[in-house]
Each structure stands twice: as structure tokens, then as C-alpha cells.
């Protein structure tokens, strides 16, 4: 159960990071609300997952998922360029996250 919570929490990290970027310095209402709600839920999920998972593993997985989701959303919306190198590097992050799960 801790792993499922951690994965959802990591996805929410991608949500709040994307919303923060779109909030224009927290001046746009809707992205600011999405940022705040996403941040709180993501942190709660991380805290819950850390009850059963080591801090280092949980944090690395959370950040890896969040960073990957954030970059993928940016590439999908045209805010960031897509390149083979970036895709391979993102695949490396995903592989490391999976590796941490398997090593646990």
C-alpha cells in the first residue's frame, strides 16, 4: 500500500510543479489553487508512505516520478523541446525508480 500511495504522491508532485510554473508567481488564481492542493496532498502522501518505506528510497522515488511527470507534461504541451537525449535521460530516471522498488 505504501508504494501505491508513494506513486500517487509522486504524480501529484508533477501536478503541483506544473501548476506552480503556470501560476505566474502565484498571481493566477486557478493554477495557484491547483498548486496548493497538489502540494499538500503530495506531501501528505509522501509522509504516509514514509511510515513503511525508508526515507531515502521514498524521497528518491517521489522526486523521480515528479520530475519525470513535470518534464513529460512540459514536452507534451510544447513548453519544452523534445529530444532523444531527454527521452533517454527520463527513461534512466524511470529505470532508477523501478530499481529502487526492486531493491527494496
Alpha helical stretches, state H, the chain: 2-22, 29-49, 55-76, 84-103
48: Cα within 13 Å, side-chain hemisphere: 16
The 10s digit of each residue's pLDDT in 24-83 is 999 999 999 999 999 999 999 999 999 999 999 999 999 999 999 999 999 999 999 999
Dist. CA 13–CA 42, nearest whole Å: 6
Give the pLDDT of residue 64.
96
User: Cβ–Cβ contacts within 10 Å for residue 96, how many?
Assistant: 13
Give the pLDDT of residue 104.
76
Give the pLDDT of residue 77.
96
Give the pLDDT of residue 101.
87
Dist. CA 45–CA 40, nearest whole Å: 9
Give the pLDDT of residue 21.
96
Dist. CA 40–CA 13, nearest whole Å: 10
Residue of higher predicted confidence among 43 and 104: 43
pTM above 0.75, yes or no: yes
Amino acid at each position: 500500500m505504501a508504494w501505491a500511495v508513494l506513486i500517487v504522491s509522486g504524480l501529484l508532485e508533477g501536478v503541483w510543479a506544473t501548476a506552480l510554473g503556470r501560476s505566474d508567481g502565484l498571481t493566477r488564481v486557478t493554477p495557484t489553487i491547483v498548486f496548493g492542493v497538489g502540494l499538500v496532498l503530495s506531501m501528505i502522501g509522501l509522509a504516509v508512505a514514509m511510515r513503511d518505506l525508508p526515507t531515502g528510497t521514498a524521497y528518491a522515488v517521489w522526486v523521480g516520478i515528479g520530475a519525470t511527470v513535470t518534464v513529460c507534461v512540459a514536452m507534451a504541451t510544447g513548453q519544452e523541446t523534445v529530444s532523444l537525449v531527454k527521452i533517454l535521460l527520463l527513461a534512466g530516471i524511470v529505470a532508477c525508480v523501478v530499481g529502487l522498488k526492486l531493491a527494496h
